[in-house]
Amino acid sequence: MNRSRRCIPLWLPAAAILIAAVTAGAAEKPAAGYLITEGPRAALWWAEGAYKVMKNDPAPATLRKTIDLDCARNEYEPFLLVLGPKTRLDDVRISISDFTGTTGGRLPADAVRVRHVEYVRVEIPTDENGAAGWWPDPLPPYDGPFTAPANENHPLWITVYVPASAAPGEYRGTITLTADGWKAEVPIRLRIRTFALPARPSVRSSFGMPTDFIRRYHNLETREELEKVVDLYYKDLAEHRVAPVTPFELYPIKVSFTGIPWAGGEFVSEQVHSGKRALKIVDDDGTKSIDARAEAPLAIETGVPYILSWWARTETADQDYTVLLEALNAEGRPIPERNILKIAKGGAEWKQETLDIKSFGPRAAAVRLRLFPVFRNNDGTTVGTACFDDIVLARADAPAVNLLSGGDFEMPVEAMSVAADFGEFDRAARRYLDEFGFNSFHLPLEGLGTGSFYSRKEGRFGGFRQGTPEYDKLLSQYLRQVETHLARNGWLGKEYIYWFDEPDPKDYPFVREGMLNIRKNAPRLTRFITEHRPGPAIMDVSEIGCTIFDRVDPKTVAELAPKGREFWSYLCTGPKSPWVTLFIDHPAVNLRMWLWMSYAWGLKGILVWEATYWNSGTLFPADIMQNPWADPMSYTVGYGVPFGRPDHWGNGDGRFLYPPNRDPARDKTKHFEGPVDSIRWEILREGIEDYEYFVLLEKAARGASRKQKALADEARSLLRFPASLFTSGQDYTKDPKALLEYRAKVADLIEKLVRN
């Protein structure tokens, strides 16, 4: 899901925003936590890792001096430890002991991760149920002593990871906090369940993570630096049981063509100069120069004169276009000072041009021909379209011998073929699919069309347009190679081909054509589509349908899932409240509830368009980067929004992770560490782990013996969630305790079924 018309928010009146800033959510905020100790210097309390603790939340009245945790093996269990100083505390330190089991087991202290809870200032609420003010979200690591000013909370987000190899039972440990003149020791009781969560998630997922944002915000320069840091981001995703849209952005499948001596542009058959084809080049990018070029350098002789001739026509009258012969030395390196370039003027009619070349100079051993449809300037701002045909490069003394292969573009179809190189792709697949365990990935394929309800482009492969015999032949070869390679390496079935986003009915014929083309040539590849208009009109041409959350129809899922169709849902800038959402200034329970509803409705996957959307190219100039630490709002990008207009998508939309660079405008040092997580990111993982509990209970009930029938019936009843938890995506409890208590019942029943 790139962005959706359905997801573009309505503007809130200014008065509504002001009212929301004062009143929203205050009455429904559930009480959190348990008091550990309170004295003249500070209060200390804790809460399960399912809440958002605001800066000025009061310490709870309920006394519970021991932190009680309960989790399965191979599970992450977070909790909040909240320090509320009444006077300033300096040199605050935290230490955690090993955990010792009552039966001799041991969990080392390094299984525990400590992070600060920091706050971002929301100035414009996401909607009428949001609120302006300081909201907790970033979780930067605790890295040593800190100062805690008086009269505001200083929460720590502490996560215990229990490995799959840990022995079940009860464990004890201690957290010690110290400051100048103050100390507190807090016992922890950890119950490790007998069952373990699976190594590979049951929920499939797709979270966008374009590497360019990582490169810019980490101030990285080389490919090696980017790979190193991106790997840390992917590791963080794997630890949170989700997958990036594609871990192959830096590791694409490379293709090479035989029998097509040109790269760039499109071979067209209409309005040619002669024969069956001409080469059309479109530059519609105002930020770079678009060209087509002869694939192979052409060997030349020193001191020999040459003639280059061609026919061309342009989209507009008197349009400048550029023909360039780049000089290369014997090692293939450019010799820019020996380039030969001509700016010519074109028009609607074909016109021949020639270029007499006395010599390329003594060091030139070859030349490369490049064609630009417009005047080529430094910054690539010129745009336009031109067509070329019947290009000839010949020695002046032998003008009938064309040294340029395919200069007339009449290459025979029979001689064309494509080969896929999987070298880089396989390196990444072994790392991210086999080692990290990502269970889903968008398969990046060349040649397919692209688009959304807003705009679209036809597919083009090897220079040939979708629907031509050449395109069909080459794409068929390519897709079959990809399908065979994935199957051979055990990766087939994890892929999904996500090439069109949220089609409207007007797009259905185009989408259907593309989907059927994939199925015809590679029937085992998985086709994927995001749907903001779910219904039978387009559902029959994909294996996975991903519907915006507020339009999920559980009845449709129940009807079609048994027939083999997989269903996902996605959140973005929509839906807004009262629906389950992903925003910073909304209830903590939302992202956890998303997974409970997903299980209840038979959904197998979740999608969010991006996890690192830190900057809007539609709002911020190229030399200014938004600082997500200072501004939590996500601003619209693209979709016809004029540059410079601050349209709002919502606080935290597409942004679950923070860059470690807190001041991207001034801090230009290289950051080689991974991302900073958010509270929403952690709660999402809790929801995914809840989903695993439900799957484990379902499997245990399905495999129960006759003697366990009563327990199996109880399990099935428990998996039919009561209305007190939720009845729909907009009618659900906001109290995390209700989920925690229900999950404990699920865990108890799993253990009974497994034990008995």
Among candidate residues 585, 660, 583, the one with its CA nearest the CA of residue 213? 660
Q: Which of 139-153, 364-378, 503-517, 729-743 has the lowest mean pLDDT?
A: 503-517
What residue segments make up the domains of the chain, in order of their start? 14-196, 261-410, 687-725+733-755
Coil vs helix vs strand at 469: helix
pLDDT in tens, 418-471: 999 999 999 999 999 999 999 999 999 999 989 888 888 899 999 999 999 999
* pLDDT value, residue 59: 96
**Res. 8 pLDDT band, cuts 50 70 90:** very low
Nearest CA among 117, 150, 134 for reference residue 51: 117
CATH architecture of 261-410: Sandwich (2.60)
Q: For a pLDDT cut of 70, what percent of the chain falls above it?
A: 96
508-521 and 469-488 helices cross at what angle (nearest 10)?
A: 60
Of 47-61, 463-477, 641-655, give the lowest mean pLDDT range: 641-655
pLDDT of residue 370: 98
With cut-offs at 50, 70 and 90, classify the pLDDT of residue 24.
very low
Q: CATH: 3.30.420.10, 2.60.40.10, 3.40.50.2000, 2.40.50.220. Which one for 14-196?
A: 2.60.40.10
Residue 16 has pLDDT above 80, yes or no: no
Cα dihedral sign for 254, 259, 265, 267?
negative
Q: Tokens 């009455």 appear where?
A: 27
SS3 state at 34: strand
Predicted local distance difference test score (pLDDT) of residue 452:
85
Identify whether the C-beta of residue 542 lies closer than 8 Å to the C-beta of residue 564. Answer: no
- The yes-or-no verdict on residue 13 having pLDDT over 50 is no
Tens digits of residue pLDDT in 528-538? 999 876 667 78
Distances (CA, A) of 666 to 163, 627, 661: 41, 11, 10
> Which of 448, 462, 543 has its CA nearest to residue 500?
448
Q: Report the distance separating Cα 698 and Cα 715, nearest Å.
A: 7
How is residue 28 written in tokens?
Answer: 């429904």
Task: Determine the pLDDT at residue 539.
Answer: 83
- Structure pTM? 0.93
Burial of 15 (0-12, 13-18, 19+ CB in 10 A): exposed
What's residue 18's pLDDT? 35
- Alpha carbon of 321 to those of 268, 354, 382, 481: distances in Å? 19, 14, 10, 38
- 154, 148 Cβ separation under 8 angstroms: yes
pLDDT tens string 269-309: 999 999 999 999 999 999 899 999 999 999 999 889 999 99
Least Cα distance to 164 among 480, 541, 558, 437 occurs for 437
Say how far apart CA 237 and CA 241 lie, in whole Å.
6
Residues in the chain: 756
pLDDT one-digit tens code per residue, 600-632: 999 999 999 999 999 998 888 888 999 999 999
pLDDT averaged over every residue in the chain: 93
Q: How confident is the model at residue 19 (pLDDT cuts 50, 70, 90)?
A: very low
**Where does 380-428 show beta strands of DSSP type E?**
384-395, 417-421
The pLDDT of residue 683 is 98
